[in-house]
Structure 1
Amino acid sequence: MYDQLHSHLSRITQDGQQHLLSGGKIGLEKESLRVDSDGKISQQPHPSSLGSALTNPYITTDYSEALLELITPPLQGIATTLGFLEKIHQFVYGQLRHESLWGASMPCVIDGEASIPIADYGPSNLGMMKTVYRRGLGHRYGKMMQVIAGIHFNYSLPDPFWPYYSDLFPRNALKRDFIDDRYFALTRNLQRYGWLIYYLFGASPAICKSFVDGQPGTLQQFDATTYYLPHATSLRMGDIGYNNKLESEIGIKACYDSLDSYIQCLTHAIETSCPKYEKIGVKTAGEYRQLNTNFLQIENEYYSTVRPKQPSLNNEKPVHALRQRGVQ
């Protein structure tokens, strides 16, 4: 792998084609909890001055009504992308009243799961589906884990890069299958070495005591309100952070060998009922508890540090978008 990487980078440099790598599209999705003046999770609804959480492409909510998600469109250049995100931030802060955005990924002060309001997207079919999906996440994994915030980094290689790069693989004509294969190779490498980023740059070794609800495990007490680990780099990406602890138990593990295998795994998960989730039920006393009893309610439920994606059109399923148009 290293020999091939070195060979390709050397060839790109020798051919003077480094500029082909500099025009990729970048997008950011930043989550932040709204907190009140006491540092507790907000109990107020999504501010109407921020627009509809269902339809605003730049400002929406994630799991909780208090968990804001700020989204940039695909843009060229890091400075341009960060500048767009900064403008969204400025607008949001101008609309908040007696609230702030929590700066850390691990949650603020939370008085138990009952104090976590699930996001409300209104009475439309799509809005109800999004709310019921989140209700299901709470029943399946617990509401506390769902208010862990994060930053999603979206990236697409520039289109002019692919015709040149395909010439380095004489047996591969430039076609969608080639691009998909290269993106999945990139995905596998990110999964293989992504931990190094948290190890070198992580700086979040402490959490609020309310998050563990009196069960600190191996965490040590730092002060009256804080637990920590002395040599931790990123608790958010560790065992107590956002993860699917049931992955090994229920047997859901996506295969990243190819686009076809990835789609096959996700399709199986969203079409196959899970006995563990059947016990939760779908509708009780007239209220939906989850969308269905399948291993995954929808594809988005599958958590991974990196996911190959294709933008959906008209609310089409992500696996259908991937099957029709490949990875972007």
Structure 2
Amino acid sequence: MAESRHSVFRQFAASDWDGFLKGVEKEGLRVDRNGFIAQTPHPEALGSALAHPRITTDYSEALLELITPVFNSTGGMLKSLRDIHTFVQQNLGDEVFWAASMPCELDGDASIPIAEYGSSNIGRLKHVYRQGLAVRYGRMMQSIAGAHYNLSLPDSFWQKWQALLGNEQSLKDFKSDQYFWLIRNFRRRSWLLMLLFGASPALDASFVAGVSHDLSRFDERSWYGEWATSLRMGDLGYHNNAQASLNICFNELITYTQTLDRAIHTAWPAYEAIGTRRGDEFIQINTSVLQIENEYYSAVRPKRTTEREEKPIQALEARGVEYIEVRCLDLDPFSPVGVNEAQIDFLDLFLLDCLLSDSPRIGDAECERLDDNYKDVVARGRHRELSLCRGGQRTPVSQAATGLLEQLEPLAELLDGWQGGETYRKALAAQREVLSGEWSVPSARVLEAMRASGMGHREWGMDMARQHQQTLRQEGLNAEVLGAFETMTSDSLAMQQQMERADTLPFGEFLEHYLHS
């Protein structure tokens, strides 16, 4: 019998283990004093959304995205994320930074301004892509916010791991194959993250105005899912009927990139009917199933840092997978920065175990079962009688969750033994505590907090946002950190102007070149 990968991993010495490399991309809406989505431009004090390395926008002009550098410690990463939040909070005037994943009060598509990135060709391309999302899916879905967790392992790990496995591939190909090994197991287990970290069981009534749904009334301005963990990841959140036909394969890099590339070059009749222009205005990049790779919605993505004007597929094919991006995390509304320490440390443990556990290829039948498990936990994860399909049989969600947490214990003990301390055992214990007794998972805590406060989703969201703003403004930034952010602001504004001056091609020609490169 072949030696298990966990056993092989135990052949590492403490001196061989350099830990994880990690970063966060955290989204959130700017909201006016009345709890309505902000209609103001991206604050100039926050720099250029096109060129700032830490502060940009996602879909909407009001939807901020804050990006940390890569760190080798959870503490360093969270300190950076807190500093970015603090700088933002100091420059929002009388607006607040919305704390929840599901949005504040909206008034239909027209109330959600599409992000602007200036007059450079790259800036216009980003705007037209978002216009395309608007005409394809509407803007409401794009007002939702989440946190993306990026994780990789250093080359020192991969070189040692490759040697222990006796693998003779190039390091590039070996790493890509191993990241897809991890991703396959992530897909098998991602339902657990929705149970442990789903935090969007309720929403503002304005989000579903005129829309058919099966939610329950919380109060006159709020709806909720009785057993839901994450409305954000359910049918009312990120979904796409056209993409359901893609059958994106997560078994290996070549089939993944080929499937995505085919989608970008396969026309979709409904999008062809819309066209790419409305008069002289460009309203989508193309009429294919996907305009670009980033349009594909998934709970996890293999990623590679792109070079200037390089497409994600091109970067992956040229240099292989560099890191994985976990995209299914709701914002933690109880945290001023949307994520928390125990959560991040648990994710590291969870993802490493995905790499170390057996991970056969996923066939069509299993793929369907995995999708069903995920959807069931998103919609009804807190219902104790919910069962999941695992190993060919139905298993109660509580038993399945407890079993996965127990499976992580030996790995937590090993990592803590190498590093000293109790980081991973504490992170694991925190999740066990959440699933003990009455299940104090975040989705349950949100509803309990709303009921205890006598507030609906809108009022409670505003109250949490104001509390976080007060906390961070009182903390402030030291002069050195503040100066660094002010420099990033001025440098990014200057860089955007430089990019705009440097363009020589008309946008139509630039777009043609982009599409065929």
Query: TM bucket by the smaller chain?
Result: over 0.9
Match of 1:255 among 249, 258, 265: 249
Whole-angstrom CA distance in 1 between matches of 2:46 and 2:16: 38
How far off is 1:238 after superposition? 1.7
Verify the 8 A CA contact 2:180 2:251 in the aligned structure 1.
yes
Q: How does 1:52-201 map to 2 (within 5 A)?
A: 52-173=48-169, 175-201=171-197
Residues 210, 189 of structure 1: CA spacing in aligned structure 2 closer, same or farther, 3 A cutoff? same
Match of 1:26 among 22, 29, 32: 22
Whole-angstrom CA distance in 2 between matches of 1:132 and 1:174: 39
Specify the code of the residue in structure 2 equivalent to 1:39. G
Specify the code of the residue in structure 1 equivalent to 2:271. Y
Aligned counterpart, 1:210? 206
Specify the code of the residue in structure 2 equivalent to 1:36. D
Aligned counterpart, 2:304? 310
Whole-angstrom CA distance in 2 between matches of 1:21 and 1:194: 26
CA deviation vs aligned residue, 1:96-132 (integer Å, no higher than 9, x gap): 1110011001111001111110000011101111001
Specify the code of the residue in structure 2 equivalent to 1:323. E
How far off is 1:175 after superposition? 2.4
Verify the 8 A CA contact 1:33 1:66 in the aligned structure 2.
yes
Specify the code of the residue in structure 2 equivalent to 1:272. T
Q: Which one has a bigger Cα radius of gyration? A: 2
Aligned counterpart, 1:319? 313
1:221 aligns with 2:221: no
Q: How does 1:271-282 map to 2 (within 5 A)?
A: 271-282=265-276
Aligned counterpart, 1:12? 9
Specify the code of the residue in structure 2 equivalent to 1:131. H
1:43 aligns with 2:35: no
Verify the 8 A CA contact 1:162 1:174 in the aligned structure 2.
no
SS at match of 2:165: coil
Whole-angstrom CA distance in 1 between matches of 2:90 and 2:45: 10
Residues 297, 170 of structure 1: CA spacing in aligned structure 2 closer, same or farther, 3 A cutoff? same
How far off is 1:326 after superposition? 0.3
1:283 aligns with 2:277: yes
Residues 195, 20 of structure 1: CA spacing in aligned structure 2 closer, same or farther, 3 A cutoff? farther
Whole-angstrom CA distance in 2 between matches of 1:73 and 1:38: 34
Match of 1:299 among 267, 270, 293: 293
Report which of the two has the higher share of helix: 2
Verify the 8 A CA contact 2:179 2:321 in the aligned structure 1.
yes
Verify the 8 A CA contact 1:120 1:131 in the aligned structure 2.
yes
* TM-align CA RMSD: 1.6
- The aligned length equals 322
How far off is 1:281 after superposition? 0.9
Q: Which moved more, 1:309-318 or 1:168-177?
A: 168-177
TM-score (norm. length: structure 1)? 0.94
Verify the 8 A CA contact 1:183 1:327 in the aligned structure 2.
yes
Whole-angstrom CA distance in 2 between matches of 1:20 and 1:207: 47
Verify the 8 A CA contact 2:18 2:156 in the aligned structure 1.
no
Residues 252, 136 of structure 1: CA spacing in aligned structure 2 closer, same or farther, 3 A cutoff? same
How far off is 1:10 after superposition? 2.7
Whole-angstrom CA distance in 1 between matches of 2:104 and 2:123: 27
SS at match of 2:64: strand
SS at match of 2:102: coil
Whole-angstrom CA distance in 2 between matches of 1:144 and 1:323: 34
Aligned counterpart, 1:266? 260
Kindly indicate whether structure 1 or structure 2 has the higher relative contact order, using CA contacts under 8 Å at least 6 residues apart: 2
Whole-angstrom CA distance in 2 between matches of 1:276 and 1:44: 33
Whole-angstrom CA distance in 1 between matches of 2:170 and 2:286: 40
Consecutive unaligned residues of structure 1, counting only runs of 5 or more, are none
CA deviation vs aligned residue, 1:184-218 (integer Å, no higher than 9, x gap): 11111111211111113323211111111132511
How far off is 1:173 after superposition? 4.2
SS at match of 2:223: strand
Verify the 8 A CA contact 2:243 2:296 in the aligned structure 1.
no
CA deviation vs aligned residue, 1:120-168 (integer Å, no higher than 9, x gap): 0011101111001000001111100011101011111121111211123
SS at match of 2:214: coil
How far off is 1:316 after superposition? 0.4
TM-score (norm. length: structure 2)? 0.60
SS at match of 1:92: helix
Whole-angstrom CA distance in 2 between matches of 1:21 and 1:138: 46
SS at match of 2:150: strand
Specify the code of the residue in structure 2 equivalent to 1:56. H
Whole-angstrom CA distance in 2 between matches of 1:42 and 1:95: 14
Match of 2:242 among 213, 221, 246: 246
Identity of aligned residues (%): 51
Whole-angstrom CA distance in 1 between matches of 2:242 and 2:14: 43
Whole-angstrom CA distance in 2 between matches of 1:20 and 1:111: 55
Whole-angstrom CA distance in 1 between matches of 2:15 and 2:263: 41
How far off is 1:169 after superposition? 2.4
